[in-house]
Amino acid sequence: MKLFDGVKMNDSSVNKYNELQNTNKHKVRLNKKALYLSYFTVLYNILEGLVSVFAGITAGSSALLGFGLDSFVESFSGGIMAWRFFRAGNSEKEDDEKEALAIRLVAISFFIFGIYVLYESVKKIYFLQIPQPTLVGIIIAIVSIIVMPVLYYLKRETGKSVGSMSLVADSRQTLTCVFLSFALLVGLGLNYLFGYWWADPGIGIVIAGFLFKEGREAWINKETCC
């Protein structure tokens, strides 16, 4: 028998106690990592949104303006995750309630995102709103293509490790940002090089369908992990 934290325990009990403590510490570290990733998502997308909207208005590019507004929707989703993990671990019941509500809110953000992208894409085709080439827009798209896949991977793996399906669902929205970045780059690039202005809204419609699918799965199944 050993005296451990003022309580007598045998070796087996001490080992179990240590394992439990290590597990709790690991969970706390994962929750902090998830929180920091959410903070980064919010700050990055707000900055990206402000620059994109300003550049879009300046260049008269509806594609870049739409991309910027999308960044604000993504920051909303990141804010949901930050709220979810800010005080995670208070109680299992409280965490479960936060988890369920967070997944619902992520699903709603998917639908809002999808409706907006579909509306903008159809409007550009109907009214022949040709996106104007802009170097700033191309740079923004390239930076997003570099940053977002890394953020997607970190959020997805952290969500799986901590058992948070809402973070996994949010990571899929980050992945959608990668597709949108490619769509923006392709749209502006093809329009600039060949005058193929319809490339941007065409890809936007495909992405909108993906968003509706992910939103539906998150709402019905309460998860979107692979």
Q: How many domains, the chain?
A: 1
Taking residues 37-45, what's their average pLDDT? 93
Cβ atoms of residues 140 and 67 within 8 Å: yes
Note whether residue 135 is domain-resident: yes
Q: What is the mean pLDDT of the chain?
A: 80
Cβ atoms of residues 156 and 171 within 8 Å: yes
Show the domain range for 170: 32-221
> Which CATH number is 207's domain given?
1.20.1510
pLDDT tens-place string over residues 141-155? 999 999 999 999 999
**Res 130 pLDDT > 50:** yes
- What is the rounded CA–CA span in Å between residue 131 and residue 195? 10
Note whether residue 13 is domain-resident: no
Q: In sequence order, what DSSP letters do the residues of 52-116 get, joined into one string? A: HHHHHHHHT-HHHHHHHHHHHHHHHHHHHHHHHHHTTTS-HHHHHHHHHHHHHHHHHHHHHHHHH
**Res 96 pLDDT > 60:** yes
Band of the pLDDT at 172, cuts 50, 70, 90? confident
Note whether residue 1 is domain-resident: no
In degrees, rounded to 5, the angle at the alpha carbon of residue 224 between the alpha carbons of residues 163 and 38 is 60
Query: Among 140, 142, 162, 144, which residue's Cα sits nearest to residue 152?
Result: 144
More confident residue, 6 or 154: 154
Per mean pLDDT, which range of 11-20, 76-85, 202-211 is the poorest? 11-20
Note whether residue 20 is domain-resident: no
Note whether residue 51 is domain-resident: yes
